[in-house]
Amino acid sequence: MTARLRPLALTMGEPAGIGGEIAIKAWHAPDGRLVPAFAVLGDPDWLRAEAHRIKSHSHIVEVQSLTEAGERFAEGVPVLAQRLNTKVLPGRPAVENAARVIAAIEHAVSLARSGEASGVVTNPIHKATLYKAGFKFPGHTEYLASLCSVASPVMMLVVEGLRVVPVTVHLSLAAAIQALTTDGIVATARAAHQALIKDFGMAKPRLAVAGLNPHAGEDGAMGSEEGTIIAPAIARLKAEGIDASGPLPADTLFHAAARSRYDAAICMYHDQALIPLKTLDFAGGVNVTLGLPIVRTSPDHGTAFDIAGQDRADPTSLLAALRLAERLAQFRAAHT
């Protein structure tokens, strides 16, 4: 039997969004499956107000440590106090609370790096509000990488039956094409290869590398990037002993038979990766940050201000993020 890990640190995310609601619902595990122990790094009064809004009778248990959170997890939703600076109004983010949102992320990373938490699961943030408070990072991933002194983090998105890794992420399509380089593809694929071995237990991962253009360029008739940028990257990966195939037409890369032939798809831009993943399982996607010394996952959705405080938020993605974080942490613990 595998030993139970220390609890996960779950950040509050943007308190005016759905983070509190889905944390409470995740503790209830509506599908009846085991929920990994976690503690919310947030304001206990905020969580109590969220429970009241959604008519939940969940007990909010204020704890002093992750160890106590694990011991008392059956009593209610454990919370490590991260007091907010102003009252939360659902759907209306307040810049006054931004510093506390950021502090919760820092605290979670510190707990994971010290070993008190087995990993970090982050609830969605509202970047525009954080920017107004002086936040200098494009998003969660880059900030977590900075806290962990990692230069080039890589994002993997996971649902049952598919893992996708975009080379370029939050860029316009025009900017993504300009930013695409052979070095960037190689670095992204290496990170995916290493993570599939280190965290997913695959001895020889298989990577499928998507083309950029229709029909993967049709031998240059529909674009040259496959020949000038992507194929050289694949050649370098193969020379390193990495099982990488492509460039492959993206329009035939994601049907069931094609997915059976690889363990992760390396995609050239954001929507090339996210559209098939969200089509397969819109509610259950998980964001995993590769290349960190800690485990970090996140639900693959935003703050959902339009439904905040209305008992309409679906906890499926957060549950998947918690369960995947525990599996990754278990594997790391067993192989280090």
- Written as tens digits, the pLDDT of the chain (336 aa) is 344 689 999 999 999 999 999 999 999 875 555 789 999 999 999 999 999 999 998 899 999 999 999 999 999 999 999 999 999 999 999 999 999 999 999 999 999 999 999 999 999 999 999 999 999 998 888 899 999 999 888 999 999 999 999 999 888 999 999 999 999 999 999 999 999 999 999 999 999 999 999 999 999 999 999 999 999 999 999 999 999 999 999 999 999 999 999 999 999 999 999 999 999 998 899 999 999 999 999 999 999 999 999 999 999 999 999 999 999 999 988 877
- Residue 271 forms beta bridges with which residues? none
Q: Which CATH class is domain 1-153+290-336?
A: alpha beta
What is the pLDDT, as a whole number, of residue 2? Answer: 42
75 CB neighbour count, 10 Å cutoff? 12
Sign of CA dihedral 19, 196, 294, 328: positive
What is the pLDDT, as a whole number, of residue 152? Answer: 85
What is the pLDDT, as a whole number, of residue 4? Answer: 60
DSSP label of 95: G
Q: Is residue 176 a contact partner of residue 168, using CB atoms and an 8 Å limit?
A: yes
Cα–Cα distance for residue pair 63/39, rounded to 1 Å = 8
* Diameter over CA atoms, the chain: 63
Which tens digit of pLDDT belongs to each residue from 146-158?
A: 999 998 889 999 9
Q: Is residue 153 a contact partner of residue 170, using CB atoms and an 8 Å limit?
A: no
Cα–Cα distance for residue pair 247/297, rounded to 1 Å = 29
275 CB neighbour count, 10 Å cutoff? 14
- Residue 208 forms beta bridges with which residues? 245, 265
1-153+290-336 and 161-280: identical CATH topology: yes
188-220 burial by CB neighbour count: b if 16+ within 10 A, else e?
A: bbbbbbebbebbbeeeebebbbbbbbeebbeee
126 CB neighbour count, 10 Å cutoff? 20
Structural Rg of the chain based on CA atoms: 20
What is the pLDDT, as a whole number, of residue 251? Answer: 96
Strand order of the β-sheet with 77-81 is 60-63, 77-81, 38-42, 8-11, 120-121, 296-299, 286-290, 154-159, 162-166, 264-267, 206-210, 243-248
What is the pLDDT, as a whole number, of residue 153? Answer: 87
Architecture of the domain whose range is 161-280: 3-Layer(aba) Sandwich (3.40)
For the chain, what are the domain ranges?
1-153+290-336, 161-280
Phi, psi (rounded to 5 degrees) for 104: -65, -40
Cα–Cα distance for residue pair 206/183, rounded to 1 Å = 19
DSSP alpha helix (H) spans, 66-218? 66-71, 98-114, 127-132, 140-147, 173-179, 182-198
Q: List the beta strands (DSSP E) in 190-251.
A: 206-210, 243-248
Helix H or strand E encompassing 286: strand 286-290
Q: How far is CA 191 from CA 155, 185, 187, 188, 208, in A?
A: 9, 10, 6, 5, 14
